[in-house]
Amino acid sequence: MRRKIIVVCTLFISVVSFAQVNNASAYSFFGIGEKNNQTTVEQLSMGGVGVSFHDSYHLNFLNPAAIASIKSTNYSIAIENVNINAKDAVNSQKGSYTYLSYLAVGFPLSEKAGFVFGLLPNSSVGYSLTTSTNDTDGNIAEAFYYNGNGGTNKAFINFGYKPLKGFSVGLQGSYVFGNIDNSVINQKKDVALSTKYQTVSNIKGYSFSVGMIYDKKLSEKVNMHLGANFELESNIDTKGDEYFYSLLYGGGVESPRDTVLNVQSKGTIKSPFKTNLGVGFGKVGKWYAGLDYSFQNAINIEGDVLSNYTRIAYDNYSKIAIGGFYIPKFNSITNYWQRVTYRAGIRFENTGLMVDALGNGTDYKPINDFGISFGVGLPMNKHLSNLNLGFEVGKKGKTANGLVQENYFKFRASLSLNDKWFKKRKIF
């Protein structure tokens, strides 16, 4: 028991040092960066479905009520590799990155209650962009170099309780923290010194959500699952430093000179009430098919350097996910592949981000995200633990109106390990 706790604590200490993701998406330029996945590899392989789903041996980050069903201690850890092919109307470029996508531990408190704590990346910033203009001779007259890195992490705890048969409730509390560094260097032909504008933002805040799940047996072969999770309105505080100074710049090497601007600012990222609804049908240990729908009013950034981007605006967010799984025969003795869980799903998402790439102040276009996913759950010892592999292909944005279209391929892998921490002693 003591050895297991030491192992878990060691993993948490190690993950803090690199939990923030180095992104490769141009859309991570805006706000606090690109929002990362907030759920497990198992659910992402089903298109992100999971608001109404729960079982005894897998964690669920989408709805805290699901943890009431857990029957053994579960350790979950996952990695994700993302490959992006980004293009606009003229050029294209490739990028990739790999990161630890979550680490969590869950265990039952009683036959009717469960508890989970974990850590995952919340958003990520990682871009390097260049724009330039030419003179009449075709030489570069002026160039801008945009760079950004950092992001935010989320530490969370979930508690689930089953007050009635077939009905569970849950509560999640989260702490968001991190920092973001954005900069732009301006370099002009025949001018000795370049200029650099840089913002460094420190971010922290709390959020809470409540959830519920209702199960009803429709027949011997079909169960119905209804789920809802409500993320309460939250504010994330930001403290930013702005710098503007001259420098010698060449070959990626900077040599600062005179500082023109050095000021501090504070702000708030206001996230409105968010609703996540889900319905699913299935048979325990055999199959499941579900539909999730999420919606939220536009976020609002007030009084901070993160609100200085005039080419973006925020609109309402929405997402539809459809997916499920199938297990040919979970207790097969002779055929391993009949015990494998096969998953698939599809996702349509309006990110809520609006970009005016042309810069005229009126031509804001929504950035939508579409993905098709599939995966397998490979059983390990005693059918309780799994190695989960997931794949997703998708498209974000479009090339029209000066925007960037990102075609991506994502590979995910997780270990969902189950064990008994608390066992009653038996006297023979």
pLDDT (0 to 100) of residue 359 = 67
Over residues 287-315, mean pLDDT: 84
What tens digit of pLDDT does each residue of 29-82 get? 777 778 888 899 999 999 999 999 998 889 999 999 999 999 999 999 999 999
**Least trusted range by pLDDT, from 127-136, 190-199, 301-310, 377-386:** 301-310
Whole-number percent of the chain with pLDDT over 90: 47
Per the model's pLDDT, the better-predicted residue between 397 and 252 turns out to be 397
Which pLDDT score, from 0 to 100, does residue 208 have?
A: 96
Instruction: Output the pLDDT for position 15.
Output: 45
Q: Which residue has the higher pLDDT, 90 or 186?
A: 186
Question: What is the band of 401 on the pLDDT scale with cuts at 50, 70, 90?
Answer: confident
pLDDT of 67: 95
pLDDT digits (tens, 9 = 90+) for 78-136: 999 999 998 877 778 888 888 899 999 999 999 999 999 999 988 888 877 777 788 77
CATH 2.40.160.60 fits 2-419, yes or no: yes
Q: Does 427 have pLDDT greater than 90?
A: no
- 11: pLDDT confidence band, cut at 50, 70 and 90? very low
Q: pLDDT band for position 201 (50/70/90)?
A: confident
pTM, whole model, 2 decimals?
0.86
Instruction: Kindly list the domain boundaries of the chain, sorted by start residue.
Output: 2-419
**Which residue has 């325990």 as its token pair?**
284
pLDDT at 14 over 50: no
pLDDT digits (tens, 9 = 90+) for 359-387: 666 778 888 999 999 999 999 875 578 99
Point out the least confidently predicted range of 8-12, 179-183, 226-230, 328-332.
8-12
Mean pLDDT of 235-264: 81
Contact 364, 313 (CB under 8 A): yes
pLDDT of residue 77: 93
Reported as a single tens digit per residue, the pLDDT across 142-181 is 888 888 888 899 999 999 999 999 999 999 999 999 988 8
Q: What is the mean pLDDT of residues 395-412?
A: 88
pLDDT at 307: 64
